């Protein structure tokens, strides 16, 4: 049927019908198909609804029940009822307005940032974690997400303790233990202050937590039914507080109540920061001194809760509509109520009453204080219910992203309830309930919440500032400056929370900060990479572009020169299976970097047709990148498909890199196996690579004895010997210094051998080189070696060099092979009637010139063997290939040069200095 529908082009909707049939067939096979939505953010009403497109039949909530009410319940908590009037007494009306403004502005700006990110595409479960992780990367996202989860779990315990403390204050007889403490307070006569016993708080708190957990296990449907039952009495209690304030008269309903009085307003306008005991009662010998920052830390939990709706994002019908409207509505509603309450509380009682009556809201309530006790208990229980609902879903969302394997136990299927995560949240909540100190728990929650809010603001700031093409939020009322201001306010408020935490318990504060740091460190070490396209990647991209433009295309000054090696991975032989590169090449690449800083480009060439080998090249590139990461080498992998190795390398050397970030050194292995395995194609390819590097002005480093190159655990002793023959811009000197920075070579010393003719002034040359090295800040011993210039008239009768060296046999063998190769070339040219050619070009060979090359390389090899037989590494200048000589001849010269030298770097610089004398 699919085929018939696609063929029938007469129908105007043939392609749409085919799509529906295709989706139906795929869905019947159990495949998940994402449902496209209309540009308005809701499903197109004209599209037929197929049952297989709705795999999740879980209950979905709207804006009111899914966001506004949860946020309102979380915001209207214990702080308002039993701490807010005391804050007004300490900070005064003016200071309290500043506290409310700072905290309210912080959450308002965070709500705007949250709205912008939440409307920039589909949003899964996890709320703020999902947003931060996709914007700032998995490490930051998981770290902040786990801290926010802890904050929600701890907040649940705070709300439970607040409800239990209020209940025990209202019904003292319900206490199993009773504690009466007499303290010095701000009144003229010391009054006995009765506080609930810690053991009562613990016992009742554990019982209440267990009951709430059972409600949470009922799922979102059960919570939506229970939530109004908690919220309606809370709103009624607030109404009773306001009625009671307007109905209050002087000393009625209690001593210290003035009614709404202008005198009280003036008296309470200024602040009265002072020292109190742990219960908040003024005490000159108390341990806590309250000031503005400390009050911010104490009050901030009263404005938190704006994430309660986004925490349940997986249970919302339309996240992109519900989260902005519901969150901002709850934020503005509660902030307005706090502002009004500051004026009312500051005008209805004396400063002394505000200080000493922790339940002033119950004292002034009309018609009875019992309503306020009920309101406090239900508000705190409602907030605790929302915390215990959101926290497990947040933990399950983190686990489902599979970043930390240790969290796999908390994974849940789509639409499922996070039962294991709920058990774990309840365990943490009960553990905090056992602590039993409300003032200690409150600032701890502040730290975790502020960390999350700062992350949301920084995420929006980064995304808005970079303005990537994918950043298209439907919420238009945002700007990067607002997000930056919100993040700054979070930091200010966080400092206030830190102050109060240190004042209350410095040890608990250190533990909390260490916990947050350890979570981030653990995620960085153990976490898996998440392919989320986070904002930092976009920031790195923009930074790279700007840096590349600032570098320009002009020559880099030697002070700013960094080696950017292009590591040619072609092995010139066989490698073990599944090993994409010689195991020691990455070790050598690391030796070319100072303290591991710098970039290497590992390239290989896949012979064949691009269209046929494209997929193979991708797999090979992935394997090579994995190998580089395994070898802990900073670098990138590239695979090029080309008909031949020569064509591929020529394309690489011309196009690899951008601007001044192009590779400047080509590193390859010396093909020691070419004669042993009779690989006749290697000489032309090898010489072609060297010539391509010379034309492209790239430095060349050829490694001979790569199999014997040490790894990071094999410490070397002896010397690093440089045979400085030609001017190379100081590259050989710089490489020797880079080798010394590695632990394996740090015990070695550098020796510089200068080759001079017999009639030159050796002492003067030695002094000049010493002065040059001193100016370069390089310590090395200078040795001048005189070498006799080759003279074809000075040959012995045997046609060999004037030396009794053991290398005469190697010289004679090379000379014989060259003569045989030349004779074969001449015979072939005569038969074909063509001029003498090799490697596709004319050959002009002078036998005396060939003998000169052989003699020179032989003498250099003999000198190296005499002076550097025990050297850790030998560096020697790379002779350029003679223009009219066959590649075979050049390989014979090179073989004679490297004969019997176990570990050799053959270096050719380029037309640029890489070291400088100047500061």
Nearest alpha-carbon partner for 272 in 355, 348, 191, 193: 355
Strand order in the sheet with 873-877: 635-642, 600-607, 565-568, 665-669, 699-704, 904-908, 873-877, 719-724, 749-757, 781-787
- Say whether both 428 and 321 belong to one domain: yes
| Mean pLDDT of all residues in 609-618 | 90
pLDDT higher at 913 or 785: 785
- Structural domain includes residue 35: no
- Say whether both 731 and 586 belong to one domain: no
Nearest alpha-carbon partner for 695 in 880, 434, 529: 880
Band of residue 802 on the pLDDT scale cut at 50, 70, 90:
very low
Nearest alpha-carbon partner for 58 in 416, 421, 452: 416
Task: Read off the pLDDT of residues 401-433 as tens digits, 9 standing for 90 and up.
Answer: 888 888 888 988 877 788 899 999 999 999 888
- Say whether both 650 and 762 belong to one domain: no
Instruction: Output the CA angle 563-567-571, nearest 5 degrees.
Output: 155
Dist. CA 917–CA 919, nearest whole Å = 7
Per DSSP, the residues of 768-822 read: HHHHHHHHTT---EEEEEEEPPP-GGG--TTSS-S---TTHHHHHHHHHHHHHHH
Task: Read off the pLDDT of residues 623-666 as tens digits, 9 standing for 90 and up.
Answer: 888 888 888 888 888 999 999 888 889 988 888 877 777 888 89
For 255-261, which contacts have Cβ atoms below 8 Å and span 24 or more sequence positions?
A: 255/353, 256/349, 256/350, 256/352, 256/353, 256/356, 256/357, 257/348, 257/349, 257/353, 257/363, 257/364, 258/347, 258/348, 258/349, 258/350, 259/348, 260/344, 260/347, 260/348, 261/347, 261/348
Nearest alpha-carbon partner for 306 in 381, 383, 379, 237: 383
Integer CA distances (angstroms), 911 to 286, 562, 694, 782, 908, in order:
76, 15, 10, 25, 10
- Say whether both 457 and 499 belong to one domain: yes
499 pLDDT more than 70: no
Name the domain boundary from 674, 704, 734: 704
- Structural domain includes residue 796: no
Three-state DSSP class for 349? strand
310 pLDDT more than 60: yes
776 pLDDT more than 80: no
773-785 b/e (C-beta count within 10 Å ≥ 16 → b): beebebebebbbe
Which residue bears the tokens 């590169």? 581
Three-state DSSP class for 68? helix
Nearest alpha-carbon partner for 451 in 500, 401, 487, 503: 487
**Helix, strand counts (H, E) of the chain:** 30, 16
Name the domain boundary from 485, 507, 526: 526
| Mean pLDDT of all residues in 270-290 | 79
846 pLDDT more than 90: no
Nearest alpha-carbon partner for 96 in 283, 270, 285, 275: 270
- Structural domain includes residue 649: yes
At residue 3, the pLDDT reads 39
The pairing of strands 288-289 and 275-276 is antiparallel
Integer CA distances (angstroms), 233 to 101, 230, 308, in order:
27, 6, 20
At residue 40, the pLDDT reads 33
At residue 21, the pLDDT reads 36
Dist. CA 410–CA 402, nearest whole Å = 10
- Structural domain includes residue 859: yes
| Mean pLDDT of all residues in 182-209 | 69
118 pLDDT more than 60: yes
Most confident of 29-33, 128-132, 456-460, 577-581: 456-460
Output the six-digit token pair for 726: 């030609």
Give the containing element (helix H, strand E) for 908.
strand 904-908
187 pLDDT more than 50: no
At residue 341, the pLDDT reads 94
The pairing of strands 699-704 and 665-669 is parallel
- Say whether both 696 and 738 belong to one domain: no
- Say whether both 575 and 501 belong to one domain: no
Most confident of 810-819, 872-881, 910-919: 872-881
Looking at the chain, the whole-number percentage of residues with pLDDT higher than 90 is: 11
Give the contacts of 207 (CB within 8 A, at least 6 positions apart). Answer: none
* CATH at 458: 1.20.1740.10
Radius of gyration of the chain (CA): 40
At residue 184, the pLDDT reads 45
Which residue bears the tokens 């920052």? 293
Cis peptide before 790 (omega within 30 of 0): no
Band of residue 759 on the pLDDT scale cut at 50, 70, 90:
low
- Structural domain includes residue 534: no
Please count the structural domains in the chain: 3
- Structural domain includes residue 725: yes
Task: Read off the pLDDT of residues 69-94 as tens digits, 9 standing for 90 and up.
Answer: 888 877 877 788 878 999 999 999 99
Question: What distance lies between CA 665 and its chain's CA centroid?
Answer: 30
At residue 420, the pLDDT reads 92
At residue 778, the pLDDT reads 78
- Say whether both 353 and 408 belong to one domain: yes
Number of Cβ atoms within 10 Å of the Cβ of 175: 19
Longest dimension (CA), the chain: 131
- If you average pLDDT over every residue of the chain, what do you get? 78
Three-state DSSP class for 356? helix
- Say whether both 398 and 498 belong to one domain: yes
Give the containing element (helix H, strand E) for 600.
strand 600-607
Strand partners, 607: 642
Query: DSSP code of 700?
Result: E
Dist. CA 770–CA 775, nearest whole Å = 9
| Mean pLDDT of all residues in 226-232 | 81
Handedness of CA 822, 823, 829, 833 (dihedral sign): positive
Query: DSSP code of 286?
Result: -
* Overall pTM > 0.75: no
Handedness of CA 516, 519, 525, 530 (dihedral sign): negative
- Structural domain includes residue 606: yes
pLDDT higher at 297 or 454: 454
Query: DSSP code of 406?
Result: G
Task: Read off the pLDDT of residues 347-391 as tens digits, 9 standing for 90 and up.
Answer: 999 998 988 887 888 889 988 888 888 888 888 888 888 888 888
At residue 65, the pLDDT reads 83
Asked if 434 and 207 count as a contact pair (C-beta separation under 8 A), the reply is no
485 pLDDT more than 80: yes
- Say whether both 744 and 699 belong to one domain: no
Integer CA distances (angstroms), 609 to 604, 638, 648, in order:
15, 17, 12
At residue 509, the pLDDT reads 65
- Structural domain includes residue 309: yes
23 pLDDT more than 70: no
* CATH at 668: 3.40.50.620
- Say whether both 271 and 359 belong to one domain: yes
Name the domain boundary from 509, 526, 543: 526
- Say whether both 909 and 766 belong to one domain: yes
pLDDT higher at 576 or 684: 684
Number of Cβ atoms within 10 Å of the Cβ of 38: 11
At residue 554, the pLDDT reads 63
Band of residue 9 on the pLDDT scale cut at 50, 70, 90:
very low
Band of residue 866 on the pLDDT scale cut at 50, 70, 90:
confident
Give the containing element (helix H, strand E) for 192.
strand 191-196
Number of Cβ atoms within 10 Å of the Cβ of 219: 15
Question: Three-state SS string across 626-658, please?
Answer: HHHHHCCCCEEEEEEEECCHHHHHHHHHHHCCC
Per DSSP, the residues of 217-282 read: TTHHHHHHHHHHHHHHHHHHHHHHHHHHHHH-BTTBSSTTB--S-HHHHHHTTS----EE-TTS-B
Give the contacts of 884 (CB within 8 A, at least 6 positions apart). Answer: 842, 843, 844, 845
Size (the chain), residues = 919
At residue 559, the pLDDT reads 63
Dist. CA 115–CA 908, nearest whole Å = 59
The pairing of strands 781-787 and 719-724 is unpaired
Asked if 446 and 84 count as a contact pair (C-beta separation under 8 A), the reply is no
At residue 262, the pLDDT reads 92
- Torsion angle in degrees (nearest 10) through CA of 318, 323, 328, 329: 50
At residue 504, the pLDDT reads 54
List the single range of 1-10, 308-317, 729-738, 794-803 with lowest mean pLDDT. 1-10
At residue 553, the pLDDT reads 61
Strand partners, 275: 289
Per DSSP, the residues of 537-566 read: HHHHHHHHHHHHHHH-SSPPPGGG----EE
- Domain span at residue 860 reads 720-791+808-918
- Say whether both 437 and 376 belong to one domain: yes
Dist. CA 516–CA 380, nearest whole Å = 26
Report helix angle 198-216 to 219-247, nearest 10: 130
């Amino acid at each position: 049927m699919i085929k018939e529908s696609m063929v029938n082009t007469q129908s105007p909707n043939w392609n749409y019908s085919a799509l529906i049939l295709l989706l139906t067939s795929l869905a019947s096979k159990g495949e998940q198909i994402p449902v496209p939505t209309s540009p308005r953010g809701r499903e197109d009403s004209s599209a037929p609804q197929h049952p297989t497109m709705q795999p999740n039949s879980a209950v979905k909530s709207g804006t009111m029940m899914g966001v506004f009410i949860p946020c309102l319940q979380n915001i209207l908590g214990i702080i308002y009822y039993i701490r807010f009037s005391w804050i007004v007494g300490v900070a005064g009306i003016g200071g309290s307005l500043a506290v409310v403004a700072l905290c309210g502005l912080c959450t308002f700006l965070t709500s705007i940032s949250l709205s912008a990110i939440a409307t920039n595409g589909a949003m899964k479960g996890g709320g703020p974690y999902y947003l931060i992780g996709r914007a700032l990367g998995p490490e930051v996202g998981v770290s902040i997400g786990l801290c926010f989860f802890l904050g929600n779990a701890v907040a649940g315990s705070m709300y439970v303790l607040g409800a239990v403390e209020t209940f025990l204050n209202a019904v003292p007889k319900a206490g199993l233990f009773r504690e009466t403490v007499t303290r010095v307070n701000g009144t003229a006569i010391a009054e006995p202050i009765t506080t609930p016993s810690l053991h009562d708080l613990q016992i009742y708190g554990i019982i209440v937590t267990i009951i709430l957990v059972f409600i949470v296990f009922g799922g979102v449907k059960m919570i939506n039914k229970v939530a109004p039952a908690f919220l309606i009495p809370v709103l009624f209690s607030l109404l009773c507080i306001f009625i009671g304030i307007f109905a209050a008269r002087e000393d009625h309903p209690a001593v210290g109540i003035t009614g709404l009085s202008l005198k009280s307003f003036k008296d309470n306008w200024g602040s009265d920061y002072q020292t109190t005991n742990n219960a908040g009662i003024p005490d000159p010998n108390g341990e806590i001194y309250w000031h503005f920052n400390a009050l911010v830390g104490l009050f901030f939990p009263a404005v938190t809760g704006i994430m309660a709706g986004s925490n349940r994002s997986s249970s919302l019908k339309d996240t992109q509509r519900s989260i902005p409207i519901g969150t901002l509505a709850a934020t503005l509603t509660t902030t307005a109520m706090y502002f009004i309450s500051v004026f009312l509380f500051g005008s209805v009682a004396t400063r002394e009453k505000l200080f000493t009556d922790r339940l002033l809201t119950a004292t002034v309530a009309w018609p009875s204080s019992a309503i306020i006790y009920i309101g406090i208990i239900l508000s705190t229980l409602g907030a605790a219910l929302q915390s215990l609902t959101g926290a497990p879903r947040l933990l399950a969302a983190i686990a489902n992203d599979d970043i930390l394997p240790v969290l796999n136990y908390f994974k849940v299927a789509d639409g499922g309830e996070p039962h294991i995560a709920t058990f774990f949240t309840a365990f943490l909540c009960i553990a905090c309930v056992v602590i039993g100190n409300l003032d200690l728990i409150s600032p701890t929650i502040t730290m975790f919440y502020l960390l999350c809010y700062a992350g949301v603001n920084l995420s929006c700031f980064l995304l808005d500032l970079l303005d990537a093409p994918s950043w298209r939020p439907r919420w238009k009322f945002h700007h990067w400056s607002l997000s930056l201001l919100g993040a700054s306010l979070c930091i200010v408020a966080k400092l206030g929370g830190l102050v109060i935490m240190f004042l209350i318990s410095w040890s608990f504060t250190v533990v909390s900060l260490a916990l947050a740091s350890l979570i981030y460190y653990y995620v960085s070490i153990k976490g898996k990479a998440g392919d989320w396209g986070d904002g930092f990647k976009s920031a790195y991209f923009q930074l790279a572009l700007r840096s590349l433009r600032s570098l320009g295309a002009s020559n880099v000054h030697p002070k700013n020169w960094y080696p950017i090696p292009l590591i040619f991975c072609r092995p010139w032989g066989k490698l073990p299976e599944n090993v994409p590169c010689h195991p020691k090449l990455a070790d050598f690449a690391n030796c070319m970097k100072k303290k591991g800083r710098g970039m290497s480009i590992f390239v290989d060439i896949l012979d064949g047709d691009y269209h046929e080998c494209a997929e193979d090249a991708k797999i090979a590139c992935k394997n090579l990148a994995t190998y580089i990461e395994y070898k802990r080498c900073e670098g990138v992998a590239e695979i090029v498909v080309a008909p031949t190795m020569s064509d591929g390398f020529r394309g690489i050397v011309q196009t690899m890199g951008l601007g001044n970030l192009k590779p400047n050194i080509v590193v390859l292995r010396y093909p020691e196996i070419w004669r042993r395995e009779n690989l006749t194609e290697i000489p032309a390819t090898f010489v072609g690579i060297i010539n391509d590097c010379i034309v492209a002005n790239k430095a060349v480093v050829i490694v001979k004895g790569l199999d014997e190159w040490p790894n990071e655990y094999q410490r070397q002793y002896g010397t690093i010997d440089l045979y400085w023959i030609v001017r190379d811009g100081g590259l050989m000197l710089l490489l020797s210094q880079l080798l010394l920075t590695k632990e394996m070579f740090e015990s070695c010393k550098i020796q510089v051998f200068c080759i001079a003719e017999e009639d030159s002034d050796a002492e003067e040359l030695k002094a000049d080189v010493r002065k040059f090295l001193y100016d370069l800040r390089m310590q090395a011993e200078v040795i001048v070696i005189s070498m006799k210039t080759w003279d074809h008239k000075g040959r012995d009768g045997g046609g060999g060099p004037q030396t009794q060296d053991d290398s005469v046999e190697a010289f004679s063998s090379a000379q014989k092979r060259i003569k045989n190769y030349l004779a074969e070339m001449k015979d072939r040219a005569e038969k074909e009637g063509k001029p003498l050619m090799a490697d596709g070009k004319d050959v002009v060979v002078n036998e005396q010139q060939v003998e000169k090359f052989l003699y020179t390389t032989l003498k250099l090899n003999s000198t190296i063997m005499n002076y550097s037989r025990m050297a850790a590494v030998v560096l020697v200048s790379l002779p350029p290939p003679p223009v009219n000589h066959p590649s075979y001849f050049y390989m014979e010269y090179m073989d004679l040069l490297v004969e019997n030298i176990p570990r050799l770097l053959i270096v050719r610089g380029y037309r640029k200095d890489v070291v400088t004398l100047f500061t």
